Structure 1
Amino acid sequence: MSKKFDMELFLAAVLTGSHATRQRHVRQAKIIQAEIAERWLQETPWGWQRKHVAWFLEHRMSHRSEATRYYYLLTVRLLARRLDKSWVFYL
């Protein structure tokens, strides 16, 4: 039996801001994780490649409002910082 990946603990090193902002980033990161795990079978961010995150932003966020896409982009930037990747994404 494996332990479930703790996204909040994973992001703790890079999260700043108010409690509500931190919770939003964690919630959105869990959604990103679930979508990538379902499509690409990558359970943890350590196995993600840029194409996985780009797929999420392009295909899963395409029908969302510009504001929602922007907030998810901020969360993706935090994930990239935590993974120490130089990924750059635009809206």
Structure 2
Amino acid sequence: MNKPFDMELFLAGVLTGPYATRQRHLRQAKAIHAAIAERWHQETPWAWHRKHVIWFLEERLGQRKEPTRYYYLLTVRLLVRRLEKSWVFKL
């Protein structure tokens, strides 16, 4: 029996700032997680590779407006910090 992945618990150590900002990061992180899980069958962020995140940023956000891509990039940076990786992403 597998429990669903708890993104809020995963990001608890790196989420700071106002309540609305934390909620936005959680909502976006859940969207990133769902997209990667659907496409790549990676159920937790610990199994992600850099290519999975690049795929999300390019394919899922490629047609979005720049402010939306920027806010998702901020969330990706939080995820990368939590994973303790040295991945760097640009807009």
TM-score by length of 2: 0.99
Q: Does 1:8 align with 2:8?
A: yes
Cα displacement string for residues 27-81 of structure 1 (whole angstroms, at most 9, x for unaligned residues): 0000000000011000110000000000000010001010000000000000000
What is the number of residues matched between the two proteins? 91
**Aligned alpha-carbon RMSD (Å):** 0.4
**2:67 corresponding residue in structure 1:** 67
Matched residue type, 1:21: T
**2:90 corresponding residue in structure 1:** 90
Aligned ranges 1:1-91 → 2 under 5 Å = 1-91=1-91
* Structure 2 unpaired stretches of 5+: none
CA distance in 1: counterparts of 2:80 and 2:89, whole angstroms: 10
Identical-residue share of aligned pairs (%): 76
**Shift >4 Å, 4+ stretches:** none
CA distance in 1: counterparts of 2:44 and 2:64, whole angstroms: 25
Shift of 1:2: 1.0
